[in-house]
Structure 1
Amino acid sequence: MNENPEIIRNKATGDSIEFIQTDEGTKGRVSEFIMTLSPNSSWAKSPKHFHPFQTETFKVISGELNLNVGKEHLILTPNHNKIIVDKFVLHSFWNDTNKEVKFIAEIYPPRDIEKGIRKTYELADKGKINKRNIPYNPFYSLILMKQFDSYFHYIPWKFQRLVFNFGARIALMFGYK
């Protein structure tokens, strides 16, 4: 456990993340953090996505978290057990209340997801991302999608992966980081 956790804030959404265990600190085993979603924060609501190489968990500390897992809609509170979202399972989450929600998320293995989180928050600081966490510049979207390793159900994921990887390489060639 990290005794001095790093906290980052997203200026576009008002959300924050407090890293508990990092990819680096666990040698690629897990990324664990407390995410605080602002009131009515719905950027991760739609569309549902999945991760082909990662398992994600959600455990609410305070407030109510809406979570779609597969075809099931859950409203999680601190009284609920940790929810595990396996690889390839479509999911989305959001705060549908006028109060903050805090939850612990674990992602294992983290792969490049921490890079994606940090890049998203950096872009928000620079005013280069909207309240839905979508960059204004499509090159940044390609980089983020590669880092998050997130895919949507309506396009074959291996094709999406090819496009995101190729697009991210082009973005890097043009100087986007």
Structure 2
Amino acid sequence: MSYWEQLDYPAARYHGDKGEVNASFRPADTPPEVSSPGGSTAYLATNEMTGGEFGLYKGELAARSAGAKTHFHRAMSESFYILSGELELYNGEKWLTGRTGDFLYVPAGGLHAFKNVTDEPVSMLMLFAPGAPREEYFERVAEMTRRGGGELERFRVRHDSYFLENPEDPAPGKE
């Protein structure tokens, strides 16, 4: 490939001449925003922070954590990067074992799921693009799951999460 050809970059969004001081730094020892016995979620770059470009979250799942059952998103892609441990990832067709350094990209509409089936914790990055206000989802999903019914369904739709709940649909553990 020749690098002298025209490259297709996105349209400019910053039109100043000298740049700005506007970077955000999060120290590694910042406590996660959401914690439970099953794991935690740290907000590295929220939809608000990135102006809707992306959302980046660090997820920690405890040993034998259920994770998320098979679902898809209509408005955003979701990517997983394994920082440490092993995570079972469903790519819409089959379960894969993700290990440190492995990456899974799921385009909008792509079926996916994840779970920790090991006796060790797992740490991962989750990237949503474009960004979406996922914080309420992370903060309330356990509570809404306990409530169930129509309230859970409305919560999921509000957060662009469409779960397969028909017994014939592929689901974690039904490979």
Matched residues in 2 for 1:29 and 1:61: separation? 23
Identify which of 117, 133, 137 aligns with 1:116: 137
Which structure is higher in strand share? 2
Which of residues 26, 29, 32 in structure 2 aligns to 1:3? 26
Query: Of residues 123, 135, 140 in structure 2, which corresponds to 1:102?
Result: 123
Counterpart contact for 2:59–2:126, Cα < 8 Å: yes
1:135 is matched with which residue?
146
Amino acid at match of 2:108: K
Question: CA separation in 2, counterparts of 1:153 and 1:103?
Answer: 23
Structure 2 length normalisation: TM-score? 0.71
Asked if 1:91 is matched to 2:112, the reply is: yes
Q: Secondary structure at the match of 1:118?
A: helix
Equivalence for 1:76 = 98
Pairs aligned (count): 141
Among residues 37, 48, 58, which one is paired with 1:34 in the alignment? 58
What is the identity, as a one-letter code, of the residue corresponding to 2:155?
A: L
Question: Secondary structure of 1:145's partner?
Answer: helix
2:78 corresponds to: 56
Does the 8 Å contact 2:34/2:139 carry over to 1?
no
8 A contact 1:37–1:101 mirrored in 2:
yes
Residue in 2 aligned with 1:169? none
SS at match of 1:18: strand
Greater helix content: 1
Q: Distance in 1 between matches of 2:61 and 2:96?
A: 16
> 1:83 offset after TM fit, Å?
1.4
Q: Which residue matches 2:157?
A: 146
Q: Is the 8 A contact 1:66 1:73 kept in 2?
A: yes
Letter in 2 for 1:142: E
- Letter of the aligned partner of 2:55 in structure 1? S
Runs of 4+ in 1 over 4 A off after TM superposition: none
Mind listing any 5+ residue stretches in structure 2 that lack a counterpart?
Answer: 1-23, 167-175
Based on CA coordinates, which of the two structures has the bigger radius of gyration?
Answer: 2
Structure 1 unaligned spans of 5+: 156-177
- Percent of aligned positions with the same letter in both sequences? 25
The one-character-per-residue Cα deviations of 1:75-122 (angstroms, maximum 9, x if unpaired) are 011142x211011111000000011000011011232322211233xx
